[in-house]
Amino acid sequence: MTDLDSYKQQLKEFYGNRTTYDHEKDTRHPLDAKILLEFVPLDSGQKILDVATGTGLLAIAAAEKVGSDGSVIGIDMTPGMLHQARLKIAAAKLQNIELIEADAEYFNFSDRSFDVVFCCEAIVLFPDILATLQKWYRFLKSGGFVAFTCPPETAFMASFQQSICAKVLGVSLPHILEPLGTPEKCHDLLNQAGFRDIEIKIEPSGRYRPLRNNGLSWTAININFKGNPLLSTLSQEQLNQLQFEYQTEIEKRATAQGIWEDTTKLFVRARK
């Protein structure tokens, strides 16, 4: 199994185990989906693609907006999340949503199939973001929108995690939030993919995380650094050192309320 295969498998397991995704404590998932949906003008009869649809938070609301003359396809590689989406779709009695269980990186649709391509919360997970945007560009009709959310590179203690890994490994690994981590980087990648009329809205937010279970799990390391091959060279001694350094720094940053975590989000849209 390659490191990339391992990365994808860990993504499936990580999200597949989150059976309360829609209602997690301090979650922003429903709010982010709502804001992203409202960021794009939808009309009755349109065809929508929701990439990494998860539990259908955005897809279901989009299906209601485009009506029975429109349609929504949600694609996701996580069976557990799609099961939750199907239950909600059945409860809402919606007939205009199709769910596809597949790895969106390799799944293709015909060119110019959709009016809008959404991706809420997941674009940073793709191994090659530029190639992903170029593929979405092909899927869109002329004048169609792409819209996604991504955290800035300062969010979720990313720079802190990066510095700890660099201290242990002796080399800095690219973090998952880096490629789209600033408005300028979003503009650059969208321009390279051919998009125009780029708009970015920044929604600041943050929270205190309780000081418990403050280790950095192997799954978190692997996902945050996209299965970087150097991770597979870490010895048990280095892994132990990484945990020690991480926990030490976490405890230094702790307050009576917990650890402050930046959860700011960028909402991005552009046109073909």
How high is the mean pLDDT of the chain?
90
Distance CA 10, CA 5 (A): 9
> What pLDDT sits at residue 156?
80
Helices (H) and strands (E) in the chain, counts: 9, 9
- pTM confidence score: 0.92
> What pLDDT sits at residue 165?
83
- pLDDT beyond 50 at 71: yes
Of 69-73, 90-94, 255-259, which range is least confident? 255-259
> What pLDDT sits at residue 157?
80
> What pLDDT sits at residue 2?
42
**203-247 tens-digit pLDDT:** 999 888 877 666 677 788 888 888 888 888 888 888 888 888 888
Mean pLDDT calculated for residue range 48-77: 97
**134-159 tens-digit pLDDT:** 999 999 999 999 999 999 998 888 88
Is pLDDT larger for residue 23 or for residue 174?
174
- Residue 6's pLDDT band (boundaries 50, 70, 90)? confident
Residue/partner pairs of 243-247 with CB below 8 Å, 24 or more apart: 243/215, 243/216, 245/164, 245/167, 245/168, 246/161, 246/164, 246/214, 246/215, 246/216, 247/214, 247/215
> What pLDDT sits at residue 114?
98
Encoded amino acid at 127, one letter: P
> What pLDDT sits at residue 212?
67
